[in-house]
Amino acid sequence: MNVPAQPPLLVLVGPTAVGKTALALRLAGRFAGEIISADAWLVYRGMDIGAAKPTPVERAAIPHALIDIIGPDEPFGLAQYQRLAYAAIAAAHAASRLPLLVGGAGQYVRAVVEGWGIPEVPPQPELRQKLEAEAESKGAEALHRRLAAADPAAAARIDPRNVRRVIRALEVYLTTGRPISELQRRSPPAYTILQIGLRRGRAELYRRIDARVDAMMAAGLLEEVRRLRAAGYADDLPSMAGLGYRQLAAHLRGEMELAEAVELIKRDTRRYVHQQMVWFREDDPAIAWFDAEDGDGVEARVAMWQRQRRPDEPNEA
């Protein structure tokens, strides 16, 4: 008996400024795809330049999902993203399009492809303040020992120095009465997944980051930040912590000169790249890595995957 093929999911990952957007558009055009954003800032309306959103022309040419879905002052968490991503993937399948999950937010990508169980527990500000005060008065190790007593499995995975994660694990346990490790069990989705990673040499990637920041400034990033603040979006919102937004907000508060803020954006973007590559490692056997300029190689690999996935059907591409 023939077993029905699992629906496909193509994933394109890599660091900021490596060239994911251009290649995603190319692949979506070749393979009748829909691009599903896996970026933490593309979800926010009005945050266009700093988030490096696809242009209106690009979005008109290729269907995109999970862009401009909430306001900058609306809460948005990993569980909500995962739920919306699965819905967008299902919608693409229903429309006979190939879903392309594209982005550099490691948590977002992994939550989808690995089927993370994510506790849907919203932040508890008062509880967090109490736990933060406890960490301050008794020390991070004491707070970690409290977590170890309640949830040994989570404590074993969390560095005691990572107070934010310790507090989150305790927050979930104290709110639900269930260990976060139990709620975080993974259930991989029933997709046939191909993950493609893009890479560039460090010097070239840094050059592209600097050029990208300069282009954003020329396109009006400072005015975009000024407009958001004038609309009442506070500097301490999670959305305003994005690269470019927090540095330029500090400039607008009079804390630094514009040139210094721009250099900080470039520096912090380079640091963010290092954080991204903790999630997307070149020794990860689940990811097929290509040089970013090898678009032909990526396209050939995707075509081969399509043929292998549905060997009894002609290649629709």
Pairwise CA distance, residues 253 & 247, whole Å? 10
State the fold for domain 125-183.
Histone, subunit A (1.10.20)
What is the predicted pLDDT for the residue at 43? 97
pTM of the model: 0.85
**Percent of the chain topping pLDDT 70:** 97
Is the alpha carbon torsion for 152, 154, 158, 164 positive or negative? negative
Identify the CA nearest to 228 among candidates 53, 49, 36.
49
Please give the structure tokens belonging to residue 227.
């407009």
Pick the CATH number of 8-117+187-309 from 3.30.2010.10, 2.60.40.1480, 3.20.20.20, 3.40.50.300: 3.40.50.300
> For the chain, where are the alpha helices, taking DSSP H only?
20-30, 56-61, 78-94, 106-113, 125-138, 140-150, 152-157, 163-176, 180-183, 202-219, 221-230, 245-252, 258-279, 295-309
Pairwise CA distance, residues 185 & 188, whole Å? 10
Mean pLDDT of 176-190: 87
Q: Which residues contact 253 (CB under 8 A, 6 or more apart)?
A: 235
191-211 per-position pLDDT tens digit:
999 999 999 999 999 999 999
What is the predicted pLDDT for the residue at 316? 45
Q: Name the average pLDDT for the chain.
A: 93
Q: Which amino acid is it at 240?
A: M
Pairwise CA distance, residues 227 & 236, whole Å? 16
State the pLDDT confidence band at 238, using cuts at 50, 70 and 90. Answer: very high
- In this predicted structure, the answer to whether residue 315 has a pLDDT above a threshold of 70 is no
Mean pLDDT of 181-190: 86
What is the predicted pLDDT for the residue at 109? 97
- In this predicted structure, the answer to whether residue 309 has a pLDDT above a threshold of 90 is no
2-44 per-position pLDDT tens digit:
556 799 999 999 999 999 999 999 999 999 999 999 999 999 9
- Tell me the domain boundaries of the chain: 8-117+187-309, 125-183
Task: Please state at what angle helix 258-279 crosses helix 106-113, rounded to 10 degrees.
Answer: 30
